Amino acid sequence: MRLFKRMRTDCAIYWQRTGVGDDGMPQFLPPVVIKCRWDNWQKDHEVADATENVRNSGTVYPDRVLVTGSFLMYGDETVLNTLSEGGKANPRSFSDAVMVKTQKITAKWRMKNVQWKPNDQPNNAFIEVTV
């Protein structure tokens, strides 16, 4: 499974959803940077005399188990440090932040009956997340 570790060359800012507050709005833990792989994240490429836009496929391969309803945003520590305090508290204020919709965990055959918890970083499993 070391291949999975090596393929995670990108970073994402992750806001873990913790529940719903008294006002009915979702609440999140402070953002952290995680290692992952984005499949064709949205990028602008200059070609000839036009700009070509590559769209996100909606698939992320993170290094840990995520919580459905949480948010991810492409970026690393430098991007995280430029976010405002209000933005760090509410990921929905960023147009680039996407919600975790589903996740599929493929484990080695001996690990099939393991119950994974949020933020587990399994070495024996491959995690695929749809955003």
91: DSSP letter = G
The tens digit of pLDDT for each residue in 18-55 reads 989 899 889 999 999 998 887 765 555 555 666 555 55
Give the model's confidence band at 75: pLDDT under 50 very low, under 70 low, under 90 confident, else very high: confident
Give residue 102's identity as a one-letter amino acid code: T
| Most confidently modeled range among 5-14, 23-32, 78-87, 117-126 | 23-32
Contact 38, 74 (CB under 8 A): yes
Distance CA 67, CA 101 (A): 9
Give residue 29's identity as a one-letter amino acid code: L
The pLDDT, as a whole number, for residue 40 is: 60
Q: Is the pTM of this model over 0.85?
A: no
Please give the structure tokens belonging to residue 92.
């929905």
